[in-house]
Amino acid sequence: MTQNVISLPLSAEQIDLVQKALEVLEQQLAGLISLSVDQRRELSKMGPKSEMFARKAYDVIAQSPEILPGTFDLKEFGADIQALDRLRPVLARLTALTQRGDDTEMALGSDIYGAALEAYRFAKLAGKGTALDELRAQASTRFKGQSRRRDETGAVPA
């Protein structure tokens, strides 16, 4: 293989431990929710400036709770801020890990696909056979509708 961006030996025990760790995460973060596309669209979004305003509003209101109507849940307002502050560092780590996982998946896929193309070229050079016929059938499906590239002289590379 000419390309080998990554080698990642993973034992069955490692994968089992990761699966168990994910189960713990899912149990401990069972309160996380999923929103529909419509719900995401309808919700007010809190960016950095809005967050500064919201935190200041909480600080001011918490000093004078008597001005609020009885239906306003100041305790829940504070609990939401506290939950957000506790959750953000966890989500940042999960996001970084997910990005590394995505990059690793891409690198492994690239290594695998490059090796498959290289193996196919070697099989074509070796001649005909049942295995080559199967590969050729798969390749014709994969590359259907793509024109062959030509080099500067107009020749099609082998």
Give the tens place of pLDDT for each residue, 77-125. Answer: 999 999 999 999 999 999 999 999 999 999 999 999 999 989 888 887 8
- Asked, for residue 22, whether it belongs to a domain, the answer is no
With respect to residue 148, please indicate whether it lies within any of the assigned structural domains: no
AA identity, residue 40: R
State the helix-helix crossing angle for 130-142 and 74-126, rounded to 10 degrees: 130
Domain that holds residue 127: 44-142
Question: For residue 80, is it within any domain?
Answer: yes
Quick check: is 28 in a domain? no
Residue 105 placed within a domain: yes
Work out how many domains the chain is built from and give that number: 1
Residue 97 lies in a domain: yes
Q: What is the pLDDT of residues 111-122, one digit of tens each?
A: 999 999 898 888
For residue 48, being part of any structural domain is answered with yes
Instruction: Confirm whether 61 is domain-assigned.
Output: yes
> What is the spatial distance between Cα 114 and Cα 3, in angstroms, rounded to a whole number?
7
